[in-house]
Structure 1
């Protein structure tokens, strides 16, 4: 299961993940990220993961494929908050933070969901919520 959840900051894409994630669910998340990237010069992510069991093969291939397409565009990602009590996911998030230094990745326990949402909403110094103020008009 992967559900998009609302976030008050338009540049933040937030989602809740658990159980089994299939390809169509993952595609909805990718689509939401692409819309945010089109409308904002930088975006942030909040991914709440609770009892994740696995991704279907289609979802895994989609995730890896999309991730590879983003390697040249990492400067568009500001922050990624990973909210979980699953230790193995925390380890993966820490590894990703070392691999993708352009993106600030922080893990939060499930009880600190609100703090994760607030942290992800913070924009980098000099950035504005309104992309028109930065002269950004989409890709």
Structure 2
């Protein structure tokens, strides 16, 4: 299951993944990311992963396909916070961080959820958007 969750900063798309992720659920998340990219110069992500087992084959193909289309568009992304206690997910996030150097990717344990949400809300200095204006005032 992949559900969008609320985040007070408008430039942050937050979601929670668990169990089995379907293509329809993934498309809903992709649509939210694309809408945020249209509205904001920089977009950050928060992905909470708890008990994720797998993606359906269609979802996996959609995820890979979307990821490949984003390679030339990485300047729209600022940060990705991955909140999980699953070690294999942490290893995958570290690999992605090395592959996609234009995007800051950081893992957080589930105990560090509030820290992850705050970190994702931060924007680069000089960016015209201010996390405080987007409504994020900390935990």
TM range (shorter): over 0.9
Divergent runs of 4+, >3 A: none
Q: Distance in 1 between matches of 2:8 and 2:116?
A: 13
- Alignment size in residue pairs: 130
Q: Distance in 1 between matches of 2:14 and 2:59?
A: 18
Secondary structure at the residue paired with 1:47?
strand
Q: How does 1:13-52 map to 2 (within 5 A)?
A: 13-52=13-52
Aligned alpha-carbon RMSD (Å): 0.8
The residue number in structure 1 matching 2:87 is 87
Q: Distance in 1 between matches of 2:5 and 2:100?
A: 25
Unaligned residue ranges in structure 1 (runs of 5+): 131-139
Q: Distance in 2 between matches of 1:43 and 1:126?
A: 15
Q: Structure 1-normalised TM-score? A: 0.92
Q: Deviations over 1:24-71 (max 9, x none)?
A: 000000000000000000000000000000000010000000000000
Q: Distance in 2 between matches of 1:41 and 1:114?
A: 24
The residue number in structure 2 matching 1:58 is 58
Q: Distance in 2 between matches of 1:4 and 1:30?
A: 10
Q: Deviations over 1:46-97 (max 9, x none)?
A: 0000000000001000000000000000111000000000000000000000
Q: Structure 2-normalised TM-score? A: 0.92
